[in-house]
Amino acid sequence: MSETNNMSRKEFIARRVAGFFKKGDTVNLGVGIPTKCSNYVDEGVWIQAENGLMGVGEVATESQGVRKVESFCNAAGEEVIPVKGACTFDVCMSFAMMRSGRIDASVLGCLQVACNGDLANWAMPGKHPGMGGAMDIVSGVRTVIVATTHCAKDGSPKIVEKCSYPLTGLGVVDYIVTECCVMHIKDGKMYLKEIRDNISVDELRNITACDFIIAPDLKPMELGDYGPDKRP
């Protein structure tokens, strides 16, 4: 646990999400915690940015960054190091990939996610930053994974019975990964698949504003042997 104790919540979430993917997968990453996943995915996982890049690599550090006209950015506008074989294209091609089901998965952030898979991630009272590409993404990609802290900054649960914020999509979320657990949503029901060893099921229920089913194969939430530091 010493390694995970030294990580921030967001880093832990991003690294656990990275464990979903294997060589050959094509994955779209949204803004926020999702963009951090490119730091941890295995070699051979192809990360797509909706602004027109396939082959997103690690987010550039201050010493690596160049910020020239030809620099490459992810969906959040952060400079990234493209992997070998990366290619660029216009935004029309980018959205055609997502709308036609050619992207295996997308990792998105959320404001709220309901127990039946409804997603709200683009607007809340007083803040309407814009839909972006999220509505197209959730309706076109094969698997939608939400990467989010379990609660908002004010302590309110993000996993709820019914979203009160404007929706991005109905019943579109397949998995939720927080710093506390992994939830799987199937046939409109939410299953607890993994739980962090520093939290009990009762404690998890207290910070989750909806009911969930404990999966028969429930296991501890751990980080696998993936990420740049584990590559051969």
The catalytic site residues sit at 50
H/E stretch holding 76: none
- Alpha-carbon separation of residue 202 from 90, 95, 199 (angstroms): 48, 42, 8
Q: How far apart are CA 12 and CA 179, in angstroms?
A: 7
The amino acid that residue 83 corresponds to is: V
Q: What are the DSSP calls for 119-176, one per residue?
A: EE-S-BTTB----TTHHHHHHHSSEEEEE--SB-TTS-BSEESS--SPPSBSS---EE
